[in-house]
Amino acid sequence: MNFKRAVIKVGSALVSPENKGCSGKYLLAIAGFITECQQAGKEIILVSSGSVAAGRQLIQHCSLIPSIPTKQAMASVGQMQMMANWQRFFDVPCSQLLITHGDLKDRERYINIKNTLRILLNNNILPIVNENDTVATDELKVGDNDNLAALVALVSDADCLFIFSDVDGVYDQDPRHNPAAKLIPEISEITDEIYAMAGPTTNAIATGGMTTKIQAAEKAVENGIETYILNGSRNDVFESLLKGENPGTRFRAKQTATKARKHWLKHTLKSSGKVYLDKGAVNAIINQGASLLPSGINEILGKFIAGESVDLVNANSKQVIAKGICQYSQQDLLRIKGCNSNEITDILGFCPSKVIIHRDDMVVL
């Protein structure tokens, strides 16, 4: 398992296999795998479906297809049940993050999510992410947790995505109708033919089938994130993974996550301002791989908000030395430039981050 940080997505069919509240039938083995990864020094973020299924028995409804408000009520009570069910399998504390697509589209909220995940992982806490179904509207919903997991992998700078459900992986034909169907162990390019192999879900409580899993894989591999579709109901799957074997379908990333992110920062993201640095900050960034602190900033040009990209300029030579995603707006940065990080709260009244640009959000040019 040559990854440093992974997002693990667990489907409703594993959280609530009988569609009657939460179950530990499959989660114990998944939790054991997560614990093994953590003990090996890996960082794990869990994206869990199942809140609606977990709350289904607790909300009265008279239809096989509950209304949207009824599903939101189920999610509201089921989220508590689901979190309690997960926590009982871990000795480390778990945290809950409920997000929508609107949170991921908004630059400042995107940065807040990134910072929260970073701090949780630094404190050996397991983040458990789910879509905020109780408040999300259609235009703000991701819609399924497969694609949500891919987006979480992007915002968290993960280098691996595991999608666990009740299927073994991608088959060349539908195994439910053709017993001769063969599992495809590795996919190097996602084509229309690959999508054609994906059939609809047969699980009444699931929001996505194989198609959404392939969509998630496509998002991930384009950003250098290795992706696996695996059967989380089989204990031998986790044993194989811990041995470095592939028991499902692997989607091969064409480049590393770090290289893909640096390429995106350098060539795709447009800078909205310039931040001029003193000699010490320039040396720390170029030669020590350090984050940018407010004490090293001399001058700020341009207008930008938190979450936008800025150029970092050597104040002496006027040369652009790096580029990165800024944690603060131009207005706030003008107030804290040159100060010590410990003074940020006293000056601004808040401190989302003690660094202005984290080294993970920066590319040296």
Q: Which string of DSSP letters, residue by residue, matches 208-262?
A: --HHHHHHHHHHHHTTT-EEEEEETT-HHHHHHHHTT---SEEE--SS-HHHHHH
The CA distance from 141 to 136, in Å, is: 6
Paired with 96 in beta bridges are 128
Average pLDDT over every residue of 81-106: 91
Residue 27's pLDDT band (boundaries 50, 70, 90)? very high
Considering the chain, what is the average pLDDT of its residues? Answer: 89
Q: Does 196 have pLDDT greater than 70?
A: yes
Residue 206's pLDDT band (boundaries 50, 70, 90)? very low
The CA distance from 74 to 96, in Å, is: 17
Q: What is the pTM of this model?
A: 0.84
Greatest mean pLDDT among 50-64, 179-193, 333-347 lies in 333-347
Residue 140's pLDDT band (boundaries 50, 70, 90)? very low
Beta carbons of 245 and 180 less than 8 angstroms apart: no
Residue 134's pLDDT band (boundaries 50, 70, 90)? low
The CA distance from 240 to 246, in Å, is: 7
Sequence letter at residue 153? A
Ranges of beta strands (E only) in the chain are 5-10, 43-48, 94-99, 126-131, 160-165, 186-187, 226-231, 249-251, 271-277, 297-302, 309-314, 320-325, 362-364
Q: Does 64 have pLDDT greater than 80?
A: no
Residue 83's pLDDT band (boundaries 50, 70, 90)? very high
Question: What confidence score (pLDDT) does residue 341 get?
Answer: 96
Q: How many CB atoms lie within 10 A of CB 286?
A: 15
Beta carbons of 103 and 43 less than 8 angstroms apart: no
Question: What confidence score (pLDDT) does residue 108 get?
Answer: 83
Q: How many CB atoms lie within 10 A of CB 101?
A: 19
Average pLDDT over every residue of 196-205: 60
Q: Does 100 have pLDDT greater than 50?
A: yes
> Sign of dihedral through CA atoms 236, 241, 244, 247?
positive
All structural domains of the chain, each given as residue ranges with its CATH number in brackets, are 5-261 (3.40.1160.10), 269-364 (2.30.130.10)
| Sheet with 126-131, side-by-side order of all strands | 94-99, 126-131, 43-48, 5-10, 160-165, 226-231, 249-251, 186-187
Name which of 230, 209, 204 is nearest 8 in CA terms: 230
The CA distance from 164 to 177, in Å, is: 22
Question: What confidence score (pLDDT) does residue 58 get?
Answer: 80
Name every residue whose Cβ is closer than 8 Å to that of residue 271 and which is 6 or more positions away in sequence.
308, 309, 310, 311, 323
Question: What confidence score (pLDDT) does residue 354 get?
Answer: 94
Q: What is the dihedral of CA 346, 349, 354, 355, to 10 degrees?
A: -110
Greatest mean pLDDT among 18-27, 194-203, 252-261, 300-309 lies in 300-309
